[in-house]
Amino acid sequence: MLHINDIKKYKEKYIELLKVKNFDADILFESIIEKDNQRRNNQQQIDLLLSRANQISKQIGEFYKSAKKSEGDNLKQESLQIKKEAKDIQDKQLVIEQEIRNILLQIPNIPNPSVPKGNSDIDNVVIRQSDIVLKSDDKLKPHWELAKEYNLIDFDLGNKITGSGFPVYTMQGAKLQRALITYFLEKNIAAGYNEYLPPHLVNEESGFGTANLPDKDGQMYHINEDNLYLIPTAEVPVTNFFRDTIVKDFPIKCTAYTPCFRREAGSYGKDVRGLNRLHQFDKVEIVQVQHPDKSYETLDMMVEHVASILDELGLPYRILKLCGGDLSFASSLTFDFEVFSAGQKKWLEVSSVSNFESYQANRLKLRYKENDGKMNLCHTLNGSALALPRIYAALLENNQTIRGIKIPKVLQKYTGFDILL
């Protein structure tokens, strides 16, 4: 959530930058500034009235001490009237403050000036591609055929017990999934991240803190009876560890494995075969809380960390800088990782690494104290390291041979086998 003082200070700059996200903030900014000025004027009136009421209270005491009951009673009535006026204005203040909050919730985060213009994912900019040669053999099978052939994933069983988008991993397929989770966690821990195992359900305040609510309300599974939400990513509970916190030491580095749950409303017509788009999937997340002066340096380091994992897995990948039209509501700058699917002949997204600057921190009241004692907002960052479904798919498709499916060397100590036969 943006800060009102920043909106006032950088109004024209913010309006231009938000146009990169295809968002027109002009009218909303004007409304916020007008209401905030009204709020400030009201507060001045309240302060004056309460100050007058305090003065009168002292005079009332003096009159009663001097046996001037009549004068004291008159001032008492005046004091009650002043307090009533102050209460009426305070009630109006609550309405104005809620109106300001409602408007602020409609405004996305300010994109970094380096974010390219564009309307959708086709306008994202490829900034790097690995050197691995892309396989072009038309005989290569897609992962859903391989998963059935090698008895790795039972999509029909998942559909039977739950529904579409809830696969069941079986035998060696389950072991490969567990191997990937363990490998990702150990890579993250070796890079200085502390491991956590958070709850898979969060309350509404947690969803608000990371800006998943109200923006993605329709995409999250909601348990009405308890007003709890199934997490769409470990980012939500982990970042909320630090809600209402004053940070003393930077950076804070966390990693967590969780299942993730997404309704994927609006995905009709998209390629949902196999592991391409699921309602429940496994993901290992990295989260950092950083000093504002270091957050973009940290973003680059997180991008390189994810790239190192894909290098070790031997998967062909590319890194894209998201354009304004594809940038999330809360992000200032995001880099996506895509791996090449040899059986489908397409690129599949497997990670997003983002800097949210102070947007989440403002909602979370996540702050630090400057050397001069002034409180300031931290910056938050996160990324997938990595999301498993499409990594799993790419491993099967890119490593299929006549003999079987080869397992990358870095995973073999976790799987206990080097090939799927």
Domain count, the chain: 2
Quick check: is 385 in a domain?
yes
Cβ atoms of 283 and 389 closer than 8 Å: no
Quick check: is 179 in a domain?
yes
Residue 1: closest CA among 205, 206, 208, 204: 208
Quick check: is 136 in a domain?
yes
Cβ atoms of 367 and 378 closer than 8 Å: yes
Domain boundary among 69, 104, 139: 104
* CATH label of the domain that carries residue 173: 3.30.930.10
User: Domain of 226?
Assistant: 121-420
Domain boundary among 53, 72, 104: 104
Whether 255 and 382 share a structural domain = yes
Quick check: is 44 in a domain?
yes
Dist CA 418 CA 213 (whole Å)? 43
Whether 212 and 318 share a structural domain = yes
Cβ atoms of 197 and 190 closer than 8 Å: no
pLDDT digits (tens, 9 = 90+) for 292-328: 999 999 999 999 999 999 999 999 999 999 999 999 9
Residue 280: closest CA among 257, 258, 261, 263: 261
Radius of gyration of the chain measured on its C-alpha atoms = 28
Dist CA 284 CA 388 (whole Å)? 8
* CATH label of the domain that carries residue 66: 1.10.287.40
pLDDT at 255 over 90: yes
Chain Cα centroid distance, residue 369 = 24
Dist CA 155 CA 148 (whole Å)? 9
Whether 219 and 297 share a structural domain = yes
CA distance to 80, 107, 110, 261, 285, per residue, from 366 (Å)? 40, 20, 18, 26, 20
Whether 222 and 325 share a structural domain = yes
Whether 51 and 192 share a structural domain = no
Quick check: is 16 in a domain?
yes
Dist CA 369 CA 247 (whole Å)? 8
Domain boundary among 73, 104, 135: 104
pLDDT digits (tens, 9 = 90+) for 178-191: 999 999 999 999 99
Dist CA 272 CA 290 (whole Å)? 37
Quick check: is 283 in a domain?
yes
Quick check: is 113 in a domain?
no
Dist CA 2 CA 13 (whole Å)? 13
Write down the pTM of the prediction.
0.92
Whether 350 and 284 share a structural domain = yes
Q: What are the structure tokens assigned to 235, written together? A: 């980012």
Whether 127 and 31 share a structural domain = no
Whether 279 and 396 share a structural domain = yes
Whether 90 and 127 share a structural domain = no
pLDDT digits (tens, 9 = 90+) for 141-156: 999 999 999 999 999 9
Cβ atoms of 337 and 306 closer than 8 Å: yes
Whether 358 and 316 share a structural domain = yes
pLDDT at 272 over 90: no
Whether 137 and 216 share a structural domain = yes
Q: Identify the pLDDT of residue 81.
A: 87
59 — pLDDT class (breaks 50, 70, 90)? confident
Whether 299 and 176 share a structural domain = yes
